[in-house]
Amino acid sequence: MKRASGLLLHISSLPSPYGIGDLGPHAYNFVDFLKDSGQTYWQILPINPTDGINGHSPYSCFSAFAGNPLFISPDLLALDGFITPSDLKQVPPFDETQIDYAKLIPFKQKLFDLAFRRFSKQSYKGGYELFVNQQQAWLDDFALFVVAKAIFKGQCWDQWPKTLKERKPEALIYFKNKYAKQIEKVKFIQYLFFSQWYKLKTYADERGISFIGDIPIYVNFDSTDVWCYPSFFKLDKEGRLKFISGCPPDYFSQTGQRWGNPVYDWTELKKTKYSWWVSRITHNLLLFDFLRIDHFRGFSSFWQIPAHEKLAVFGKWIKGPGDAFFKVLLRDFRQLPLIAEDLGETSDAMIALMKRFGFPGMRVLLFAFGGDPKRNPHVPANYPAHCVAYTGTHDNNTIQGWYYQEAKEHERANIKIVLGLKPHPRKLHWQMIEVLLKSKADTVIVPVQDVLGLGALARMNTPATKVNNWKWRLGSGLLASSLAGKLLQITRRSKRCK
């Protein structure tokens, strides 16, 4: 990655009159803002369909391949003729700053029903048919899974009738025939999502803006992926979880985190030359230019917790696939444009793995104010060039929220030492951004909340909590041209753009 910078903003947080950010006009406006402010990267959180169980966390999805239908733009549906402008006259009054999923989902589903009815009457469906053929490897199973979930009233796949749960060929054929129309509708909605995505991606490409995607290392137990490939995960003979994922005690939790995802059976995956993972990386590199792998440590060693244990502290480290996995990937890709999320507890083996394959790690400025500034790896003076540096991530408070609500006395005292200047509380976000941009880190990513100097109410997620997360939205009109100009000046001074 060249010396450049970018902004972090999830699709859901974009402005929109339809209750959630989408792939419509405001996404294109944000690309323009990035270009006008001298940025090179747009980092986005996972774009897969959320399960709704964990507050619609983008890290809790029921497919590693499908797109989130809630990101489909109603404006573009009307522009493409799938709905009429009159269909958008009765839009509910949505909160501009928070997502209300209970109100949002029925509204979007109604639009999808209208779009599908109109699509079904069309004689020419060439684009749709091409998409279905190209994405058949994951799309057929995903569509069947979604419809089965609806038919069985949301039950997890391990509670479905035995023949369908075990994917007996006769059961799959019967289900596909009986619910053919519902299955086609799911495929059509995915067609809408990816059509809109690739148009936005092309627009960004033409303006020199690269997308950084985000891949959670784990998938949900109740997902298309586990239902289709149970042998790739540590399940018992009845398809129940034997072990689950998590992490030991760290900065965010004194008892560790019990994530609950199934852990991989890497021995079984190796027998297939890691085919499922190769497909996953291939699919995502068509959507993004770079991929941040969340919890990269899991490829070196992973925290495995017996499924019956209620606390993560009872887990233990298990060796991951290591070099063998990435050597297979390199046979399929000329290069691996991956960013390793190496925060939390690290290991010598993980660091060595990253170095062998040249993967940059992460540095987070908000972690720089504790401990000894001379040794803290998150202090800008200690950065290697080959890293991606952030003011904060989606799991951190904003700079202003941190300073006024979280920063301890010794951390505030360290601000002057770390930044090398006298802190001005109300301007602290700009001071931190400029110090970060002037650092020798090749890549700097700043959450939009920090560019705007927003407080704790704009925080995206608080780890180890399940309420009031993933709801923040960017109000319309906040990304003014004057803000782009100010960011452009700092970016130029930092020699990260022309």
Residue ranges of domains in the chain: 4-493
Ranges of residues in the chain with a pLDDT under 70 are 251-252
Our answer to whether residue 395 is catalytic in this structure is yes
Beta-strand pair 4-8/443-447: parallel
Token pair belonging to 349: 């083996």
pLDDT of res. 463: 85
Neighbouring C-alpha atoms within 13 Å toward the C-beta of 239: 19
Catalytic pick among 341, 411, 442, 450? 341
- Phi, psi (rounded to 5 degrees) for 225: -65, -45
Our answer to whether residue 87 is catalytic in this structure is no
Neighbouring C-alpha atoms within 13 Å toward the C-beta of 140: 12
pLDDT of res. 464: 77
Residue 498 burial by Cβ neighbours in a 10 Å radius (0-12, 13-18, 19+): exposed
> What's the rounded Cα separation, in Å, for the pair 342 and 359?
10
DSSP state of 397: P
Rounded to the nearest 5 degrees, what angle is found at the Cα of 253, between the Cα atoms of 248 and 258? 55
Is the separation of the CB atoms in 98 and 471 below 8 Å? yes
Per CATH, the number for 4-493 is 3.20.20.80
Residue 291: helix, strand or coil by DSSP?
A: strand
Question: Could you tell me which residues come within 8 angstroms of residue 366 by beta carbon, excluding any fewer than 6 positions away?
Answer: 378, 391, 392, 396, 397, 399, 402
Catalytic pick among 22, 225, 294, 342? 294
- 3-50 pLDDT per residue, tens: 999 999 999 999 999 999 999 999 999 999 999 999 999 999 999 999
Our answer to whether residue 222 is catalytic in this structure is no
pLDDT of res. 252: 66
DSSP state of 12: G
> What's the rounded Cα separation, in Å, for the pair 71 and 21?
7
Smallest Cα–Cα separation from 444: which of 9, 5, 38? Answer: 5
Provide the CA 356 distance to its chain's centre, in angstroms: 26
Q: What does each C-alpha distance from 146 to 149, 320, 378, 394 come to in angstroms?
A: 5, 31, 43, 28
Dump the DSSP string for 239-254.
S-BSEEEEE-S-SS-T
Smallest Cα–Cα separation from 373: which of 463, 435, 450, 455? Answer: 435
User: Hey, which residues does 304 pair with through a beta bridge?
Assistant: 245, 316
Token pair belonging to 226: 């586990």
> What's the rounded Cα separation, in Å, for the pair 38 and 486?
10
Q: What does each C-alpha distance from 46 to 22, 27, 64, 215, 330 come to in angstroms?
A: 14, 16, 9, 6, 23
Dump the DSSP string for 187-231.
HHHHHHHHHHHHHHHHHHHHTTPEEEEEEES---SSSHHHHH-GG
> What's the rounded Cα separation, in Å, for the pair 448 and 456?
13
Report the run of H or E that residue 437 belongs to, with start and end. helix 428-438
Catalytic pick among 80, 268, 395, 434? 395
Amino acid at 244: I
